[in-house]
């Protein structure tokens, strides 16, 4: 865009030129900030969704049958009789 000769403008032409330039810059900044905030929001939403899915998958896939035998505890019918084993 060619820059108009500011010295040959009247005061009202200069005022409208500055206002138009200011508004176009302001709109550009607002749209740029909006795009940036929107992209950050989308990235945070996506990462939160993926974390939730991973957490949900770990909860759903974890069953008692998959525990190793060393983690399983056999319960005694007599709970008062507790034996301590040496390590």
Residues 29-85: pLDDT tens digits?
988 889 999 999 999 999 999 988 888 777 655 555 555 666 555 555 555 555 555
Residue with structure tokens 């005694």? 76
Tokens of 65: 């049958």
For the CA atoms of 18, 20, 21, 27, the dihedral, rounded to the nearest 10 degrees, stands at: 140
What pLDDT is recorded for position 8? Answer: 78
Residue with structure tokens 């989308």? 42
What pLDDT is recorded for position 14? Answer: 84
> So where are the chain's domains?
33-64
Tell me what percent of the residues of the chain surpass a pLDDT of 70: 61
Tokens of 58: 């770990």
Q: How far from each other are the two terminal CA atoms of the chain, in whole angstroms? A: 83
């Amino acid at each position: 865009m060619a820059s108009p000769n500011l010295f040959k403008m009247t005061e009202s032409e200069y005022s409208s030129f500055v206002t138009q330039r200011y508004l176009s810059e302001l709109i550009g900044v607002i749209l740029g900030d909006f795009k940036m905030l929107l992209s950050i929001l989308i990235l945070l939403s996506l990462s939160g969704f993926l974390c939730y899915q991973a957490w949900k998958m770990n909860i759903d896939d974890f069953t008692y049958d998959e525990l190793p035998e060393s983690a399983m505890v056999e319960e005694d019918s007599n709970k008062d009789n507790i034996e301590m084993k040496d390590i």
